[in-house]
Amino acid sequence: MPSEIHADDVGTQLIFTVKEDGQAVDISLATTTDLEITKPDTTKLQKSASFFTDGTDGKLVYVIESGDINIPGTYRIQAKIGLGGGSYSSSIATFRVHCNL
């Protein structure tokens, strides 16, 4: 993720690494790769993410669209992965969205 995200940014890449015990997880065989983003007002977004490289590094990327990140504050993000007939959720991370002038 960039060093600073601002409200109403569009085109910014959110890069999320799926980890277990602090180590990146190989998700290259995942059949679904979604990111659930919760806004400061508790609105939830379910977004389809792509592998940032080939998935072996656990990295997913989502490009912010208009309306996604429109409220300043702390956002929560969690990966939802379909893998081997199961569905798995990552730990939850946060990121801050800053105000504009």
Tell me the mean pLDDT in the region 6-29. Answer: 94
Containing H/E element for 49?
Answer: none
Tell me the mean pLDDT in the region 85-98. Answer: 94
How confident is the model over 42-58, as pLDDT tens digits?
999 999 999 999 999 99
Say what the pLDDT of residue 76 is. Answer: 98
Which pTM does this prediction carry? 0.90
Contact (CB, 8 A) for 63 and 10: no
CATH number of domain containing 25: 2.60.40.3350
CA–CA separation, 41 vs 75, rounded Å?
Answer: 9
Domains held by the chain: number: 1
Range(s) of the domain holding residue 53: 5-98
